[in-house]
Structure 1
């Protein structure tokens, strides 16, 4: 396609991926063989052309794709008649993604807009092995036996399975006006959206995008949250300091990075060791890690916004909440709110959803039911806590 100096490739959708070969096993792991996989993505921003990213980062076998097809989604697994197009990678409709690598499609020259829902269908003729996946996409996926690459719908097909996890998709880019401002929501389940309603786009980044668009901003936020991800320790996913470059700093068009980390560093040690006690990081440990994130974001010429660690006292997950961990979260949050924080701005997630009578726990109105994650109303409170003037997107 022709190049345009007034437009550049910019992330319009992201789906942070994790390995199926980790020791901590919280989510359904699976592979595919002689199956069609149809998954839905919703764009956070628009442009004059589109390209899709597929990942075999954690696969142990080359990922053979017999065909890839992109179309506008109607409802369920249905696609709009006449909207479909084959995706080509290096000019080929059939291709292989090597072990440990990512593939970027050839550009599809069609205008797309924020909020567009696209169905990406993959025909997987060979055994993929356990797949590189996203844990909590909150978008139902669909798989059926055989080759149904261009089927108008998979609904009602014999052997249809609905999937709660997303597989092989790591993102979509659009050709957007050069200078478009993009924030990456880089964090854990409070960004990925655990606790909010499936298939409704009520996650924090979605609702922050609603605010940005209503305010007339031409920029947007893409979601690189990983549920159960940690700042300092691997699993689930590589820890934040290890994945910062790939999942934030190297995202095309990024100008801002939003951060929420610390909950799982404090909770997972006790949860994994329960009922035996386990040491949690100190406030100094977490502050050093957050400072390292801020320094690396600034060194890349980007703006860094941090959020306070969300409340989690009395969560239902045994061993997760401890008096020691809650005290550390409090200390880290005081630092985030104070003059010594190296971040450009902060959003006070903890204050936004806390129970005023017991600020270490989530208010009942904002609690998803597990005491650790917020519901749709809580996600809106998080989005409303962001000062758009300070964010500057």
Structure 2
């Protein structure tokens, strides 16, 4: 009897030690951070339908979408939303017979209050890594948009002209696509300003340097592959509101809300320096930005998220810079390179600077504004990320 008891105990221990199949988890697969629609670039559109073409960076067996009115100026009403396969290699045309309707708490539409986000019910449809989808959302209310789409195919059709879609450039009301997956080794949020957002990028589906990073990740074995969610906002600042609320405040909205986020690649600060004065009380000192970086990292570490910091790219000849501001950029970059602020470092500055004039972009990477790297420069930045810094946790 005693032997049977011991054997039973040993068998129980063996069973407990067997690796259980992990339950499916949700993971971020695509992102587009919300920004305000105020200012001269805003445009009001009548009730109608938006179509967004998105490229996923995670595979799974279900989808869940987030629509954001976080920085809108009025309440909105979603009448319906759906996902579908594209009809071709580009554009927002939908392939016949591929439309899947979304629901919100079982209903086809829902209110989207000012300052809030809305998450759809899970939609059980299999998706592949690097697969393109067309997301459609119909509003029964007018929408006020900002014309600052920085590298994403989208179109709009007013309700009174159903089916007559016209390409537009605007911020997206779709802010996050998550997938349900049996394994999500890591999920990376690319966080920053216009250089992360993809300003002047011609690659509609692979936005900015995060798009190139996603391409590199897609080539890795599934057990080593991270999803990449781009949460850059043109004009964003670290310490105070610029375009959208400050980086420190939007951490909770644009990082913490991404399911299964494990890493952040952070590149921001040039707008803080450029928008400030060259000297005096209105200038942003290197110590100010470094303190802001440490605050961001503290928020991330509280959630167990690794933060990789990127050096700011050259900008001396940009319209809002000056020699004094350039010295601040260089001082901040020197502090980043020490490795004492972030968990790892990507030297974006070294990837795109002109060896003959290190305060400027390489001529072949400068589209003419002396601030935003062109597609070739953004590709070089994406190639500069050491993938070992984004390795899945063991």
* Equivalences for residues 25-64 of structure 1 within 5 A: 25=39, 28-64=41-77
Find 2:80's aligned residue among 56, 64, 67: 67
Find 1:192's aligned residue among 197, 213, 224: 197
Q: Deviations over 1:167-215 (max 9, x none)?
A: 3211111002244300101111111111211425252111112222223
Q: CA deviation at 1:165?
A: 1.1
The answer to whether structure 1 residue 82 and structure 2 residue 97 are counterparts is yes
Moved more, 83-92 or 34-43: 34-43
Q: CA deviation at 1:32?
A: 2.9
Preserved CA contact (<8 Å) 1:32 1:124 = no
Q: Deviations over 1:319-367 (max 9, x none)?
A: x11111100000011111115x231110001111000011011001111
The answer to whether structure 1 residue 249 and structure 2 residue 256 are counterparts is yes
Q: SS state of the match for residue 166, structure 1?
A: coil
For 2:123 and 2:160, the matched residues in 1 are separated by 23
For 1:7 and 1:369, the matched residues in 2 are separated by 47
* Equivalences for residues 62-211 of structure 1 within 5 A: 62-75=75-88, 76-128=91-143, 130-131=144-145, 135-146=148-159, 154=163, 157=164, 160-201=165-206, 203-211=208-216
Q: CA deviation at 1:295?
A: 2.1
Q: Deviations over 1:46-67 (max 9, x none)?
A: 2110011111223343311222
Preserved CA contact (<8 Å) 2:226 2:390 = no
For 1:20 and 1:383, the matched residues in 2 are separated by 29
Q: SS state of the match for residue 31, structure 1?
A: strand
RMSD: 2.2
For 1:303 and 1:63, the matched residues in 2 are separated by 35
Gaps of 5+ in 2: 1-20
Q: How many residues are matched?
A: 368
Preserved CA contact (<8 Å) 1:189 1:226 = yes
Preserved CA contact (<8 Å) 1:196 1:368 = no
Find 1:10's aligned residue among 10, 27, 30: 27
Q: CA deviation at 1:95?
A: 2.1
Q: 1:144 to 1:8 in 2, by over 3 A?
A: same
Q: Deviations over 1:117-173 (max 9, x none)?
A: 111222223334x24x68334113211222677xxxx5xx3xx43211133211111
Q: 1:198 to 1:381 in 2, by over 3 A?
A: closer
The answer to whether structure 1 residue 19 and structure 2 residue 36 are counterparts is yes
For 1:88 and 1:30, the matched residues in 2 are separated by 28
For 1:303 and 1:168, the matched residues in 2 are separated by 28
Preserved CA contact (<8 Å) 2:150 2:201 = no
Q: SS state of the match for residue 97, structure 2?
A: coil
Greater helix share, structure number: 2
Q: CA deviation at 1:94?
A: 2.9
The answer to whether structure 1 residue 266 and structure 2 residue 273 are counterparts is yes
Partner of 2:349: 350
Preserved CA contact (<8 Å) 1:49 1:111 = yes
Preserved CA contact (<8 Å) 1:123 1:147 = no
Q: Deviations over 1:202-258 (max 9, x none)?
A: 521111122222233322211000111111110111111111121112311100111
For 1:73 and 1:7, the matched residues in 2 are separated by 27
Q: 1:45 to 1:137 in 2, by over 3 A?
A: farther
Preserved CA contact (<8 Å) 1:202 1:376 = no
For 2:148 and 2:103, the matched residues in 1 are separated by 27
* Bigger Rg over Cα: 2
Q: 1:344 to 1:65 in 2, by over 3 A?
A: same
Q: SS state of the match for residue 304, structure 2?
A: coil
Q: 1:17 to 1:202 in 2, by over 3 A?
A: closer
Q: 1:345 to 1:54 in 2, by over 3 A?
A: same
Gaps of 5+ in 1: none
Moved more, 367-376 or 256-265: 367-376
Q: 1:189 to 1:105 in 2, by over 3 A?
A: same
Q: SS state of the match for residue 45, structure 2?
A: coil
TM-score (norm 1): 0.88
Preserved CA contact (<8 Å) 1:35 1:123 = yes
